[in-house]
Structure 1
């Protein structure tokens, strides 16, 4: 719930403190506020208003003799009410995003992966990506490639741009020609069907034979070999359960770590981003509620209490397929982070093919 308006004077003082603290990472004193906020107030009045903002929970004072820094509540008020975008910077970000996506065309996950690097470079924060299960995605292409006599690479492409890969070690040696025929057989059976459905190996292969011993040694031996390998690949597809799991990928963890002062904070953040499913839950909650920003302890993930998360959904044909976002310190440059994430998420579908 958004706080009620603080009034023009308090808002100007809070804004001056936040902008300067984001820039310097040092507590902000009343003299700087007096000079930057351009208020017709005496130094004593500014100090009084800053003390009021501290008492109301928008500012904190880390040391008795130091200036103030924003609290989580202060950042929240800033993001919800005071944040402004520089139109020149916004136009440049949108241009950079369009230019990047023009050269980043490809499968969904490839585009999102490259977007991670782009986002991190644009903002100097840690970039995060999630991908969700896509219930309405159909098989668009299936290719089986022989990597050797005992290894097959299976590549599956979905109608929304999803690409899944898995390897299969067949029970018999497989030539390039047989692999090609297996591709054709599975394509004929599966293209246009739901990727989320469990693949029936017998239906997909067109045979109930499942072992080498059952392959007849007759003129149709090649056809039965193709059916056998198709079944083994279909089993692998069933086990893969394409897009069943939510994935979280992170790029440039060191950029968040370098912005935190305490080593124990760094360790907790790194471990959480690499292993904790609650980060995925937090991102999904933000997407589902239409929010884009989680600040400090708002997200309920303890290790991220000194961090902020900015995310935006990625949609293709109106369906949610994932999200992209940034994690940085609570004093992150919210305007730039939000502009970059929003611009990228709005255009990513154009790059997916």
Structure 2
């Protein structure tokens, strides 16, 4: 889930885990007596206190006030996340059934399904949820069909293997009969099926096409340039996740910048991470946030990504489990014929 840090003794790791879990659940600094109660280490409170002091000196914990309680630092959260093992059990049976039922019953077009998926993930985690649509330029074309709208208007439907559909209304020079329309549809499908959307701008392909098919291909050329679409669910919940109004405003401002968020998600995945904590995002307004991301696959190939954005004190095991289950189910749904 990230780069492994230095190795902690089993006792220090248990103390750190107890502080992280205590702070996640209470949002209050965690004291040595609380750690002694939940960590079951078989040592005195004084020994636990010494271990917490050592963890603070090593940069894993900080003491926000002069009280005995401590909270995790980014380094502490990173160690906690990197030493998580199986998180699948942290998503309840009811939530898993909710995910399965959603994908079993949704029959929306891709865009609506992805928007609904972001709402589902936000509901499961109580954090802001992100779904990045399949990248257009690499989406594989399944078919092209033409529909006669009026004498001079034709609608072209480009259907992709990932389930998305592009619609383009095209003005033609003269009316086309049903035979001409069918021939153009067949030519375009034969030419483009199995090719990425970038083939729509390949003029070398057009030399043997009918005039109608050529006109349609010319009109579709810019489809491969479309930016990746971002769907954000649960943005309204952000207000309740942070104490400072300024932080809420900053986070909401970032969520409105589609290009920034899509680039951030891609960058995190490119760095081999599934979790970016605080400054690891590289985006200053998200310094108090963590972002969990995962790709979803169609036919074994990553086509898009999903994630959740919340405070650094987020419930990492539950959020990781929710992202994993939703990404797997979304991929299976899109892979279905």
Same-fold status (TM-score > 0.5):
yes
- Alignment: residue pair count: 326
Question: In the superposition, relative to structure 1, how do residues 186 and 120 fare at CA in structure 2: closer, same or farther (>3 Å)?
Answer: farther
Aligned equivalent of 1:236: 219
The one-character-per-residue Cα deviations of 1:48-107 (angstroms, maximum 9, x if unpaired) are: 211111111111111222611111111111111145536374554433322221112455
Distance 1:316 1:171 in 2: 35
Residue 336 of structure 1 corresponds to 318
The partner residue of 2:235 within 248, 253, 271 is: 253
CA distance in 1, matches of 2:267, 2:160: 26
Please, which moves more after superposition, 42-51 or 151-160?
151-160
Correspondence list, 1:120-135, <5 A: 120-130=122-132, 131-135=134-138
2:187 corresponding residue in structure 1: 189
Structure-1 residue corresponding to 2:210: 206
Partner of 1:155: 157
Does the 8 Å contact 1:58/1:70 carry over to 2?
yes
Which residue pairs with 2:251 in the alignment? Answer: 269
Rounded to whole Å, the distance in 2 between the matches of 1:116 and 1:254 is 13
Deviation at 1:341, TM superposition (A): 1.1
Counting only pairs closer than 5 Å after superposition, residues 307-326 of structure 1 correspond to structure 2 as 307-326=289-308
SS at match of 1:241: helix
Q: Provide, for residues 270-290 of structure 1, a one-character-per-residue CA deviation record: whole Å limited to 9, x for no partner.
A: 121221634323312333344
Assess, with a 3 A threshold, how the Cα gap between structure 1 residues 23 and 160 changes in structure 2: closer, same or farther: same
Which blocks of at least 5 consecutive residues in structure 2 are unaligned?
A: none
Which of 45, 65, 71 is the equivalent residue of 1:69? Answer: 71
Could you tell me how far apart the structure 2 residues matched to 1:182 and 1:330 are?
60
After superposition, residues 39-188 of structure 1 pair within 5 angstroms as 39-65=41-67, 67-82=69-84, 85=87, 87=89, 89=91, 91-105=93-107, 107-130=109-132, 131-135=134-138, 137-144=140-147, 146=149, 154-168=156-170, 170=171, 184-188=182-186
Q: Distance in 1 between matches of 2:98 and 2:118?
A: 14
Based on CA coordinates, which of the two structures has the bigger radius of gyration?
A: 1
Aligned pairs for 1:1-40 (under 5 A) are 1-40=3-42
**How far 1:134 moved relative to its partner?**
4.8
Change (3 A) 1:16 1:161: same
2: CA distance between counterparts of 1:180 and 1:80? 61
Give the superposition deviation at 1:3.
Answer: 1.6
> Separation in 1 of the partners of 2:164 and 2:234?
24
Point out the more displaced range, 197-206 or 12-21.
197-206
Distance 1:288 1:185, change over 3 A: farther
Give the match for residue 218 of structure 1.
none
1:122-163: CA deviation from partner (whole Å, max 9, x where unpaired) = 1111110113245361242434463x7887654321123222
Work out the CA distance in 1 between the residues paired with 2:306 and 2:80. 22
Contact 2:84 2:317 in 1 (8 A): no
CA contact under 8 A between 2:59 and 2:76: conserved in structure 1? yes
Structure 1 20/319 Cα, relative in aligned 2: closer, same or farther at 3 Å? same
Secondary structure, counterpart of 2:256 in structure 1:
helix
Q: For 1:89 and 1:241, how far apart are their aligned partners in 2?
A: 38
Partner of 1:121, secondary structure, is: helix
Structure 1's unaligned 5+ residue stretches are 208-226
